[in-house]
Amino acid sequence: MALFSKKTTLVHNITYMAIMTAINLVFIVLDTYVPLMMVLLILLLPFVSAVVSYFCQKKYYIIYAIASIGLCMIFNPFDTLFYVVPAICSGFVIGLLLDKKINPFWMILCSVLIEVILSYAFIPLVNFLSNENFEDKLLFILKLTDFQYREELRHLFLLFVALAQCSLTHFVLLTEIKKIGVETNTRVNSFIPYIVGLLACLAIGLIFAFTYRPPSLAFIALSFYFGMFLLFNIAVCKKPLVYVVLGINFLIMFVLFVLFFTKIDKPMGFMLFGLFPLGIAITSFFQNCLLNRESNI
């Protein structure tokens, strides 16, 4: 039975899911008795579930999910709730979107949002069951217990962990399925959704900055995810005028950043980092909307 191949029979599906369930169990046992293995657990769990979701028949996935959660709960119920359950849910979505040949950009974003939402949902339950604050425990491990801006750091940490998990999972999985002749849809028909997504992240971050400050920096950080994609598209467009516009925008944003950074109370001064993805969005709008429209006239 090939490791990376579609499973068509009941025996192959059950056998494959049993192997992957055992891998999940090994990870959680190692995490329980070797705390430093938490890094490995965080990075690899979504990949294991995504492999099951993509290569096995979806109707059997519930068996894998129940078996993995049940067995892992025996050894470490808290990390099972916080790591395993979100990984199993996001892994299922990754496999589903791969089958639908959705653009990898949106696959990663969807799985990241699922990871983050479920992590937030399970934190109160983990705190209740363990009679201790999971977030304080995490800050203690990172030696940041007395860090002044630990609330902002907590939101950024959850986002970066989810991004690292899902990006690694997609990179490895997409590499493997290409080897068996499966291609994903990487075409972009319109860049407007990407520009709107970036601006929406900046707007939501700004709203939180004036209402409930801690999550605001996480949305600014998420805007960079959209920004990096748009920046790559700008880099490969081979249009000198676009490069000039990008350079001018970055220069303007840098000057604004320097002028206002020291005048805004910490940590909200870091909100000004959002000026750089904003500059990318403006350049991308010029490149893909205004410049292309003039070329078609």
248 — pLDDT class (breaks 50, 70, 90): very high
Question: Residue 159: inside a domain, yes or no?
Answer: yes
Let me know whether 101 and 15 are in one domain.
Answer: yes
pLDDT for the residue 144: 62
Question: Residue 187: inside a domain, yes or no?
Answer: no
What is the number of structural domains in the chain? 2
Question: Residue 185: inside a domain, yes or no?
Answer: no
Let me know whether 243 and 273 are in one domain.
Answer: yes
**pLDDT surpasses 80 at 24:** yes
Whole-number percent of the chain with pLDDT over 90? 19
Let me know whether 31 and 166 are in one domain.
Answer: yes
More confident residue, 88 or 171: 88
Burial (0-12, 13-18, 19+ Cβ within 10 Å), 185: exposed
Domain boundary among 149, 179, 209: 179
Let me know whether 161 and 262 are in one domain.
Answer: no
pLDDT digits (tens, 9 = 90+) for 63-109: 999 999 998 888 888 778 878 888 888 888 888 888 888 888 888 89
118 — pLDDT class (breaks 50, 70, 90): confident
Let me know whether 76 and 133 are in one domain.
Answer: yes
Let me know whether 40 and 160 are in one domain.
Answer: yes
Let me know whether 58 and 168 are in one domain.
Answer: yes
Cis peptide bond upstream of 267, omega within 30: yes
Cis peptide bond upstream of 104, omega within 30: no
Let me know whether 162 and 250 are in one domain.
Answer: no
Domain that includes residue 64, residue range: 10-179
pLDDT for the residue 136: 62
Rounded Cα distance between 87 and 100, Å, is: 20
DSSP 274: G
Let me know whether 231 and 148 are in one domain.
Answer: no
Let me know whether 23 and 155 are in one domain.
Answer: yes
Let me know whether 208 and 172 are in one domain.
Answer: no
Question: Residue 3: inside a domain, yes or no?
Answer: no
**pLDDT surpasses 60 at 147:** yes
190 phi-psi bin (left φ>0, alpha ψ -120 to 50, beta other): beta
Let me know whether 65 and 141 are in one domain.
Answer: yes
Rounded Cα distance between 68 and 53, Å, is: 13
